[in-house]
Structure 1
Amino acid sequence: MPDSQPQTIVIASGNKGKIAEFKTLLEPLGYTIKGLPDFPEAPEVVEDGRTFEENSLKKARETSAFLQVPVLADDSGLCVHALDDAPGVYSARYAGEQATDAENNAKLLREMEGMEQREARFVCVLSYVDAKMGTEHAVRGECEGMIQQEPSGEHGFGYDPLFYVPQLDKTFAEAAPDEKNQVSHRARAFMKMKDYLAAQIGKPSP
């Protein structure tokens, strides 16, 4: 079991790219960030919710209850307007339960072949749960963009090579991490969460 130092937050994810983004956002504030790979004994949470909110809170609640430390969980995904907001909560497994990022991207491009309407948005619902204290809080962040005809860029993960952000004039995968963290759905959700975290964990908000 991890220690219960209040400055430690466990990210309820095994995704290395996602954990790295949270480290970039949180460590400058003085927090120690760990991810699920640090706790192989933690049970895998079945993401069977119909919304980002349901999945995010479920991951945070179950992980915090097991580890007995504060947990931050997110459920995020890509919502393509022309596909009735698919892949949505199924973004990570769009091409199958064990699908790679490349396979998911390839399926998305096939589904959108010939489509002129390519508007999309990334959504992130971020949930904080401290089972020992009986506290929980959830926020939502979104980033609007367009789906490109082909992948571009080497950074990021998931659908980042296809997601063009007009504000950056590049895809998320072409953006440096600090650029992405200025406008991303996850960063926007985090900015809403930051003051709450500071109050709960006793760290001053900058």
Structure 2
Amino acid sequence: MGARHSRQRVAARRFGARLARMHDAGAESFGADWSGYIGPLPLDNTPSTDWSEFYARRRLLPYLRRASDVGALRPADVALVERVIERLPELAGPSEPPARIHGDLWSGNVLWQPDTATVIDPAAHGGHRETDLAMLALFGLPHLEEVLAAYQEETPLADGWRQRVPLHQLHPLLVHAALFGSGYRAATRDAAKAALRG
């Protein structure tokens, strides 16, 4: 058990360092020159030079509308997410250049190997590197703290990044609400409240 756990920790650290290097490779803008998908839903990648604007218009608003249209969110929930959108420039933290991100980096898209991990099924685009890290935390990646420690050693994150995790989790939560209904309402509402407390 001890040797296996030690190998898993090494694999997690290697993965964290590799993820940081991928993000650090950068992108020309937030978004991409192609349209994408997140699960079966379309993903508008229209490029932008401003992350707050990109995140609001391309990631939050379309899925907020979809989740509302299918009855997954109540009007008060919609208003709460709209408050986050209005305050995005102040909630987003320090400005960062576009990172090359996976875009759908939940734990099911991370395949563990004996000495590292490989990612699959990307929704790749230029984005905020905290988005991938928040997604890893959303559904519980094994050895996440090891991944984050190695990431920080390779490319330190901006102060306050842990407080911004709920902000970056809003997009996948809205996608899940749009796809799977009101079972994601409470998590979406809680993430929006936490983002506003930031």
Structures share a fold, TM > 0.5? no
User: Per chain length, whose mean CA-contact separation is higher, i.e. which structure has more relative contact order (CA < 8 Å, sep 6+)?
Assistant: 2
**Structure 1 or 2: more helix by fraction:** 2
The alignment's TM-score, normalised by the length of structure 2, stands at 0.27
The structure whose residues are more often strand, as a share, is 1
